[in-house]
A and B are shown apart, each in its own frame.
Chain A
Amino acid sequence: MEITHAGHVETGPKLYVLTWVWLLVLTAIEVTLAYFHLPIGLMLFLLMGLSIVKAALILAHFMHLRFERLNLVVTLIPAMVLCITLLTVFFPDGMRALRLAVR
């Protein structure tokens, strides 16, 4: 870490390159995983889990959220995650449609 003339704490290029390498590794794991014959629920769980880790890496390092004031993070992120989670309320209805479908 170094302090720039603007007074911001600026991270070195090493962190960015390391983040990029991790993102590539996680992507490679995802692509490999897609060819395993796993039940769809487990597959979805693993792929989404890895994607959330990737999203967190991008948010924290590339988008600098780790170095912003905590106020900004707790104002933006939890409300967004809650809204996205609430959208899953529609999924049981999707399964109901399947049971009603004409076969």
Chain B
Amino acid sequence: MAEKVERLRFVEWGGGVSPFAVGSKKLGMWLFIVSDSLTFSGLLVGYSYVRIANERWPMPFEFWPTIVMATVMTFCLLSSSLTMALAVRASSLGDRARVIRFIALTMLGGILFVLLHAKEWAGLIAEGVRLWENPWGVPLFGASFFTLTGLHMLHVISGVIYLGVIALGVSRGRFTHEDVEISGLYWHFVDLVWMFIFPLVYLLSVKMP
């Protein structure tokens, strides 16, 4: 029996006792990412549904400041993904000082994103946009906007905290390369979700000159 299992491990399909060839923690993060992407898809489809069902959906976003700021936020998130990928690479090479430096840069990108986003929210709230009403009609505009971007912002904030914990652990030699890589998966996923929220929520609601 043991011999058979041992043989299965090396057959061409590569399945046997470890079909995915990843650790249980990493597989767990992947499963979380799949389920979280379904959560965001549900919200995006819900937003699209109410948008289709309303003839006069508001398109209030001016080029300056909203679209420019949202593009800068996208830049922050994409760049933080690059630094995270470099942190994971440094970790695989065993360079702890660089791991911490790159994770710090990643967190900075995340914090900038949240600050710019919070400023945008404050601007919209000052204009009178609420969950249940806004100056442009169709009350669901505020509900869908704040829910979608709010859940995403929550993910970015928890991501920054998560990365902080990982960086602290790495500096004390408590976490392995796998832990850094898994935190990277989460961070890239948050970036990936924004790649859908940005065009659907912002770019399809620009105020045409």
A contact residues vs B (CB 8 Å cutoff)? 4-6, 8, 10-11, 13, 16-17, 19-20, 23-24, 27, 30-31, 33-35, 37, 40, 43-44, 47-48, 50-51, 54-55, 58-59, 61-64, 68-69, 71-72, 75-76, 79-80, 83-84, 87-88, 90-91, 93-95, 97-98, 101
Q: Assign chain B's interface to a size class.
A: 35 or more
A35–B62 CA distance with the chains assembled, in angstroms: 11
With a 10 A CB-CB cut-off, give which of A13, A62, A72 has the most chain B CB atoms.
A62
Q: Which residues of A contact B189 (CB under 8 A)?
A: 63
A20 & B81 in contact (Cβ 8 Å cutoff): yes
B14 & A69 in contact (Cβ 8 Å cutoff): yes
B42 contacts the other chain (CB 8 A):
yes
Instruction: Render B175-197 as a binary contact track against A, CB cut-off 8 A, 1 for contact.
Output: 00100010011001101100110
Contact count A vs B, C-beta below 8 Å: 146
A-B contact pairs, 15 of them (CB 8 A): A5-B94, A10-B89, A34-B206, A35-B63, A35-B209, A54-B195, A55-B195, A63-B184, A68-B21, A68-B22, A71-B14, A72-B27, A72-B30, A94-B49, A97-B53
B188 & A31 in contact (Cβ 8 Å cutoff): no
Ranked 8 nearest A-B pairs via Cβ: A94-B52, A34-B203, A97-B53, A47-B199, A20-B82, A72-B20, A87-B45, A94-B53
Task: Identify A71's interface contact among B19, B45, B181, B196, CB under 8 A.
Answer: B19
A55 & B52 in contact (Cβ 8 Å cutoff): no
B contact residues vs A (CB 8 Å cutoff)? 14-15, 19-22, 27, 30-31, 34, 37-38, 41-42, 45, 48-55, 63, 67, 71, 74-75, 78-79, 81-82, 84-86, 89, 92-94, 177, 181, 184-185, 188-189, 191-192, 195-196, 198-200, 203-204, 206, 208-209
